[in-house]
Amino acid sequence: MIEDKFEAVKQRFRELSEELVNPAVMRDREKYARLNREYKELRQLIEKIDEYELTKARLEEARTVMREEDDKEMRELAKSEAAEAEDRLARLEEEIKFLMIPKAEEDRKNAIVEIRAGTGGDEASLFAGDLFRMYTRFAERKGWKVEMVDYNEGTAGGFKEVIFNVKGDDVYGTLKYEAGVHRVQRVPQTETQGRIHTSAATVMVLPEAEEFDVQIDMKDIRKDLFMSSGPGGQSVNTTYSAVRLTHIPTGIVAQCQDEKSQHKNFEKALRVLRSRIYEMELRKKKEEEAKLRRSMVSSGDRSAKIRTYNFPQGRVTDHRIGLTLYELDQVLDGRLDKLIDALKLADNTEKLKRAGEQWLK
């Protein structure tokens, strides 16, 4: 029975509440951050458990009225309330099951998103710009903060490449489903005969690594400075404020030119470098796990075609779960919830099935 797990959850929540006000824990930045994330997640679960128990009490009360009340009208009213409570209990049970699925540690992190124009020339760059606007608007709707890191504009607009940081609650756990190849089908502005062209852009989503996730020896980093450049290659300023960092052991490179301050550009570039190294190690781990099972929902295969945006039909199709929405304008305006919620549901359903619901036994 699912109720058998409730007391253990409540006990863990009480323990976390006490630990988070412990001065020793508060001084340990890594431990405090980890426990605080667990506390926030359990608080959501506790709220659902409280609602479940209140609904169950309502159901028992309604059943008592149905058994003991002589008034026919009161029994009918109680019968209606019981049916409503049973329906709500069933939905709450499913929600609680999914909330009890352990989250991957990286899902709780902020994210670094990298969009690169693929096949299609100028049209691919324009599409990369469309994706950038789509994600920034989605972030605004979620109350997340977006911070530009680096970009290389396309000759006709959009971006050949754009990298940005997204900060908020469970950002990576939400945006990770966007990693892969996005394809667009539309008539380019330069097309005189009205022919539909297919272009693509690649999206990478990295969990933002914190200092204690990846230990980097600064002796292993080569730092190069260059002038920030704007559209057309024109210099934005005359100082060498842009920073490029190379991690010599792995060859991984990260750069930032968005800030006027060299120090701020260095900090941003270091965050990206750290996150790329962390993602590389994470990917190795996931590849090892993938040998044991194959996930239905890809959340990191950079070469997988995950979604098509068809302008003539106003259609968006996610190929991983076979979901098609005729809401292209809304999706490009950052209304991604239907797509991401469906992907999360498919992923969590598979996790629940894979686990064999061991935690319920």
**CB 255, CB 269: distance < 8 Å:** yes
**How is residue 71 written in tokens?**
């008034």
> What pLDDT does residue 291 have?
54
> What pLDDT does residue 299 have?
44
Residues of the chain with pLDDT under 50: 231-236, 292-296, 298-301, 357, 359-361
What's the CA gap between 247 and 265, in Å, rounded?
16
> What pLDDT does residue 293 have?
45
What's the CA gap between 202 and 353, in Å, rounded?
31
What's the CA gap between 258 and 271, in Å, rounded?
14
| Model pLDDT for residues 231-261, shown as the tens digit of each residue | 444 444 556 788 999 999 999 999 998 888 8
> What pLDDT does residue 29 have?
84
> What pLDDT does residue 192 have?
63
Handedness of CA 63, 65, 69, 73 (dihedral sign): negative
pTM: 0.73
Tell me the C-alpha to C-alpha distance, in Å, between residue 84 and each of 2, 14, 79, 95.
20, 32, 9, 17
Q: Which domains does the chain have, with CATH numbers?
A: 2-99 (1.20.58), 105-351 (3.30.70.1660)
> What pLDDT does residue 162 have?
95
> What pLDDT does residue 353 have?
73
